[in-house]
């Protein structure tokens, strides 16, 4: 630990800063200063291409090619450093590559009581630039950058930024590695991101997050991040419920899970819950199994929120229609065997599916109607010998694959005690699975 280092954040928007040097290091420093809103004066006989792009004049309101403007400004004086250049600056960065010039800049800054960052010799300066990770929470947009990886950039007025600065003495690469590790945890929501102070204007939002087939490792990084910011989570039975264990104690968790034939909270009430909490100024996450738009009624929830002027973000998820078969070695398409697939909920439209042998059928929520579905497919032209696999509890503790044919699967599943949740796959692709081969059905 360096007891002489006093960590401090500087608000330099609208204030003059001098950068001495025209190379890549000076360009990086200038870019960060412009993003912070500083009025930068570059002093260097020549500048590199990246720095020249920052210096180039822009139309009013235009953004620079690297996305750094137009928050700050950059002016270039094409000459060498000379005494008096530091006068009036709030901060100085020197990165000339010449120890003599950098020392002269640092000495003048010292005499004028201006803090100086010296890229060539940290001990010669009076300030240091740490490795920085940033993530903006709140609001509804995505994109931007934090440290060295993507993060959240919100567009709403209640967005706030978390900035983590890492200093490792005279070992900048070590600082960068620590920063990158923190940055990754911020990006995935594994560090606490939820604001403690409520938004002043009280406007809430809703995120429809697809949680995937249930394994917490299969939710997207964006979904994890939004969960870390949530004040209210409305969850399904088949979502990655293990993620709820990591939420703060004061996060409101509302379980609206459905089981076959039992829907304790009708969809209209779920919509009303989302609207109620968002209008109260809370950040709401609707955590769903699979993907919000694959038999998840996400479209209905979006419409309900938009009717009340509530901003909504939809975060795609890994649908169980594809991922659960994959968990037991079944691809829904396979060269030479299947050129496409249809996903249904196992109801009356199943007889309308193409009867081609190279077209896979995937049934969700179809265990209770398995016998009727198999009969309807045979009646519409499918061979009774078409392979079938019923995959229970994909990625869960009781994951199991039961195989048969359209002619036999209902009896086989009944004998095996197959129960929901399960995904049924119908087609020649089932022959790829280890369960089919182990059953010796070919």
Q: Catalogue the active-site residues.
A: 236, 258
CA 210 to CA 229: how far, in whole Å?
Answer: 16
Residue 338 is encoded by which pair of tokens?
């299947």
CB of 241 within 8 A of CB of 232? Answer: no
CB of 253 within 8 A of CB of 177? Answer: no
Report the candidate in 173, 140, 166, 168 with the shortest Cα–Cα distance to residue 154.
140
For the sheet with 91-94, list strands across it. 73-77, 39-43, 16-20, 91-94, 115-118
CB of 159 within 8 A of CB of 138? Answer: yes
**Which residue is it, tokens 């209640």?**
158
3-class DSSP state of 38: coil
Q: How far is CA 140 from CA 201, 305, 350, in A?
A: 15, 14, 39
Longest pairwise C-alpha distance within the chain: 93
* Spatial CB neighbours of 159, under 8 Å, sequence gap ≥ 6: 136, 137, 138, 139, 153
């Amino acid at each position: 630990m360096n007891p002489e280092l006093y960590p401090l954040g500087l608000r330099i928007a609208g204030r003059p800063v001098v950068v001495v040097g025209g190379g890549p290091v000076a360009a990086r420093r200038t870019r960060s200063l412009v993003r912070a809103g500083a009025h930068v004066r570059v002093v260097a006989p020549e500048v590199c291409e990246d720095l020249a792009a920052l210096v180039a004049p822009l139309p009013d309101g235009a953004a620079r090619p690297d996305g750094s403007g137009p928050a700050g400004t950059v002016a270039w004086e094409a000459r060498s450093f000379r005494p008096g250049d530091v006068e009036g600056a709030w901060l100085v960065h020197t990165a000339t590559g010449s120890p003599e010039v950098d020392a002269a800049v640092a000495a003048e800054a010292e005499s004028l009581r201006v803090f100086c960052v010296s890229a060539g010799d940290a001990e010669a300066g009076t300030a240091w630039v740490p490795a920085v990770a940033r993530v903006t929470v709140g609001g509804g947009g995505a994109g931007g950058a934090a440290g060295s990886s993507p993060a959240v950039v919100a567009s709403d007025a209640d967005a706030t930024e978390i900035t983590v600065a890492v200093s490792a003495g005279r070992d900048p690469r070590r600082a960068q590695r620590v920063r990158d590790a923190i940055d990754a945890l911020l990006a995935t929501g594994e560090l606490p991101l939820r604001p403690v102070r409520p938004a002043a204007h009280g406007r809430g939002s809703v995120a429809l997050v697809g949680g995937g087939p249930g394994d917490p490792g299969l939710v997207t990084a964006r979904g994890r991040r939004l969960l870390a910011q949530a004040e209210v989570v409305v969850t399904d039975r088949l979502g990655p419920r293990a993620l709820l264990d990591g939420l703060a104690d004061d996060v409101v968790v509302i379980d609206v899970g459905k089981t076959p034939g039992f829907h304790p909270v009708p969809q209209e009430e779920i919509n009303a819950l989302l609207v109620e909490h968002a209008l109260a100024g809370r950040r709401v996450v609707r955590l769903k199994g699979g993907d919000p738009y694959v038999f998840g009624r996400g479209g209905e929830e979006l419409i309900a929120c938009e009717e009340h002027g509530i901003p909504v973000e939809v975060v795609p998820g890994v649908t169980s229609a594809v991922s659960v078969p994959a968990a037991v070695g079944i691809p829904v398409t396979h060269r030479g065997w299947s050129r496409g697939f249809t996903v249904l909920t196992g109801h009356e439209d199943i007889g309308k599916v193409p009867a081609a042998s190279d077209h896979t059928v995937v049934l969700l929520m179809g265990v209770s109607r398995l016998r009727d579905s198999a009969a309807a497919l045979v009646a519409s032209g499918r061979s009774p010998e078409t392979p079938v696999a019923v995959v229970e509890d994909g990625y869960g503790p009781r994951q199991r694959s039961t195989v048969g044919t359209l002619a036999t699967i209902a009896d086989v599943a009944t004998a095996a005690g197959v129960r929901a949740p399960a995904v049924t796959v119908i087609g020649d692709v089932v022959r790829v699975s280890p369960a089919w081969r182990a059953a010796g059905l070919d």
